[in-house]
Structure 1
Amino acid sequence: MRAVLAAPPPTLLLIAKAPVPGRVKTRLTPPYSPEQAAALAEAALADTLATLSTVPAGRRLLVLDGEAGRWLPPGWEVLPQSGGGLDARLAAAFAHAGPTAPALLLGMDTPQVTAAMLAEPLAAARRGGVDAWYGPAADGGFWALGLARPTPALARRLLLGVPMSTPETGPALLARLAAEYLTVSHLPLLTDVDTATEVDQVAAQAPDSRFAACRRTIVRTPGVTG
C-alpha cells in the first residue's frame, strides 16, 4: 500500500497540429473543404484535451506543431514539436517527460477516447509489472503509446524507423516492444480519424462530443466519399 501511495502520477503527452485550414486533416479534402476539415480537427483536439484534463496526471504536455488557440484549456504546458518525420517527432516528444514517472503519448485523432480508458490502466494499483501501454488502431496503426520508465534512448529505439501510417505500423511497434522485453498492457482498439468514412464512424461512437456536433453542422460535397 505504501508503494502505491508513493507512485508518481503519470505524464500525459498529446502530439497535435494546430487546426489551420490546408495544414491539418488534408486527407479529408474532398469531400470536406479545408475549412471544414480544420473545424473537425479542432473539435477532435478540443475533445481530446478535455478528456485528458480529467485523467489524473502530474503533468499535461501539448507537443504542438503551430500556435495554441482558444481551444487550449488551462493546466497544459505547450511545447513545440521537433523536426523530422512522424517517427522522429513521436520519439522526441518522450524527451519532454522525465524518467521517474510513466508517460503516455497519444494524438488528436481519437476524440471518442474516454477518461476511464486511460485512468484505470495508468492507476498506481494497476501499474505493477507493466513496462508499456499500447493502444491499437483499427487501421493497423496505434493511437497511444505509454512507457513506465520513459527515456529518450528507449523512445528512439522503439520508434525511429517504424513505418508510419501503414497497416504495418502497429505490428512493427509491437515487435520493437517485444525486442526490448517489455511487458505491454493493451488499451482498447479505437478508430482514428483519417478518412470521411471514419469521421462518420467516430461521430456515431461519441454522439455527445464536440466532434459529433461539428460533423452534424457540415454539409459535404455530394457523391464523394473517403
Structure 2
Amino acid sequence: MFHKEGQKLILISFFLVAIIVLAAHYYIDINWLKLLIQITALVFLIIILQFFRNPKRKVLKSFDEILAPVDGKVVVIEEVEEKEYFKGKRIQVSIFMSPINVHVTRYPASGAITYSKYHPGKFLVAWHPKASEENERTTIVIKTPKFGEILYRQIAGALAKRIVNYAKVGDSAHQGEDAGFIKFGSRVDLFLPLDSAISVKLNQKVIGAKTCIASLPIKDEER
C-alpha cells in the first residue's frame, strides 16, 4: 500500500522508467550499457516505491500512552524550554527518519486539535540543534484526556522540501491514524509534560503507531 501523497510521483516514475527500459532495449546495441541503464531505471523506481510505502498497522489505542508518531531513531530525550506554544519547560523526544524509513506521520495520541501552524524556514540537517526552531516546520497541539496538551512538530531537513500536515484546529485526532507526510528524510519532535514516564532510550529504533514513547506517571498510592 502506498501513501496518497506519492501517487502522482509513482505514476510519473512508472511512465518514465517504462520509456527508458524500452528505449534502451530498442536503441542501444551495447548489451552491458543497455542492461546498466535498465537496471538503474528499475532501482530508481524501487526507491520511489519504498519511500512512499504506507504499511497498515493495527493500533492498540490507549489514553494512558503516547505512541511514536513516525518510524525512526530516537536522537533526543531532554528537558527543554518550548517557546512557541507552552512557553515553559517540557520533555522533548525527537525521532530522526532516514530516507529508508516510512515517512507517514501518525497521531501520537487521541484528543482535540487545539493548535496547528506552519512555519517557513531553513533546511538545516534534521539533527542540527536549531532545526526545531529554524527549519521549515509545522507545530500541532493535541488536548488529550489524561496527559493534557501535548505538542508534536514535523521538521524539514536538508533533503525534505515538503511537509504535509492534515491536522486542523477543531478536528479530532485518533491515535495511530494518518496525520501527514514528510518527503525525504527529516525528524519529528514531541513535547510532553515533565512528569511523563518516558519509555524509550537514546538511539532506540521506534515504529510509528506501535512503540510507546511515554506513559502516565505512577502515582505514589499506586506504587
TM-score (norm 1): 0.27
Q: TM-score by structure 2 length?
A: 0.28
Q: Higher helix proportion, which one?
A: 1
Computing the radius of gyration from Cα coordinates, the structure with the larger value is 2
